[in-house]
Amino acid sequence: MGTILDRILDQKRKEVELLKSQPVIKSGSTKNITPLYDTLRQSNQLSVIAEIKRASPSKGDINVGMEPPEQAKLYEQSGAKAISVLTDQPFFKGTIEDLKQVRETVQLPVLCKDFIIDQVQIDRAKQAGANVILLIAAALPEEQLKALNDYAISSGLEVLFEVHNEVELKAAESLGAKIIGINNRDLKTFKTDLAVTERLASQIQNPDVMVISESGIKTNEDAKRVFQAGANGILVGETLMKSNNVPDALQQLIV
């Protein structure tokens, strides 16, 4: 029995075969959205990427009753700088339709948060209106990551390149990633530790690289901790999805 990431990737291979058998319209949203990179670069505060996350492998159901457009609007009105939408169905109970609805509702960059292993998923994300896609270093060999990164950029998308250790960080740097996400969650054990951001962010020497600290960020102290470690932004799901006062919870994270 493999890790949860192995199981997710097995599922993605099946999904990709299905997608390839369907026609894909190669167009996307025509909205004029400020790129995530520019937003991060221009801010001297911690930018919050607020996530639409119904459920997860580590936590089970988080907030399955939420309506993505309403939640995304609330995030935008509360000061989020981008919206992440988990579009994986089997493990996170998300859909690509969620992303389409969010795109129609907000003026912020929208991140397609999925496990991308093939160009056809990038086409689908773009067609649904995503501005940013996620590439996870742990998911693929370096040359495939490079090919997908190049394809996404040539399609007019931004890439959030996710790493969890030094080897993955080197891969991100060698393919010229402009936005690096440091995942505090170990995808094998599900343990989250903000020390991962502290350790890896200090090794990023290029001031043009924007750093996002991902997972396990809950409090104002957590936000301050990763900001001091060098993060330009944070990706927050569970805390915001569970909150019954999103404006207040989000404001606590803008430091």
Ligand X SMILES: O=C(O)c1ccccc1NCC(=O)[C@H](O)[C@H](O)COP(=O)(O)O
Q: List residues binding ligand X (CB under 6 A).
A: 4, 51, 53, 56-58, 183, 187, 190, 214-217, 235-239
126 forms beta bridges with none
CB-nearer residue toward ligand X: 28 or 87: 87
CB-nearer residue toward ligand X: 94 or 129: 94
CB-nearer residue toward ligand X: 56 or 101: 56
CB-nearer residue toward ligand X: 28 or 171: 171
Instruction: Quote the longest CA-to-CA distance of the chain.
Output: 48
Tell me the closest approach of the beta carbon of residue 208 to ligand X, in angstroms: 23
Provide the angle, in degrees to the nearest 10, between the axes of the packed helices 68-77 and 96-105: 40
Tell me the closest approach of the beta carbon of residue 235 to ligand X, in angstroms: 5
Tell me the closest approach of the beta carbon of residue 171 to ligand X, in angstroms: 18
Report the alpha-carbon distance of residue 188 to residue 4 in Å, rounded. 7
CB-nearer residue toward ligand X: 28 or 85: 85
Tell me the closest approach of the beta carbon of residue 112 to ligand X, in angstroms: 13
Tell me the closest approach of the beta carbon of residue 164 to ligand X, in angstroms: 10
Q: Is 41 helix (H, G, I), strand (E, B) or coil?
A: helix
Residue nearest to ligand X (CB): 237
Q: Is 246 helix (H, G, I), strand (E, B) or coil?
A: helix
In the structure encoding, which two tokens stand for residue 119, read together?
């160009």
In angstroms, what CA-CA distances link 101 with 59, 68, 84, 97, 182?
A: 25, 7, 12, 6, 28
Q: Is 120 helix (H, G, I), strand (E, B) or coil?
A: helix
Tell me the closest approach of the beta carbon of residue 25 to ligand X, in angstroms: 28
CB-nearer residue toward ligand X: 28 or 40: 40
52-73 CB burial, b ≥16 within 10 A, e <16? bbbbbebeeebbeebebbebbe
CB-nearer residue toward ligand X: 129 or 237: 237
Report the alpha-carbon distance of residue 188 to residue 16 in Å, rounded. 23
Tell me the closest approach of the beta carbon of residue 53 to ligand X, in angstroms: 5
Report the alpha-carbon distance of residue 67 to residue 99 in Å, rounded. 11
Question: Which residues contact residue 102 at a Cβ distance below 8 angstroms, ignoring those fewer than 6 apart?
Answer: 52, 68, 69, 72, 83, 85, 110
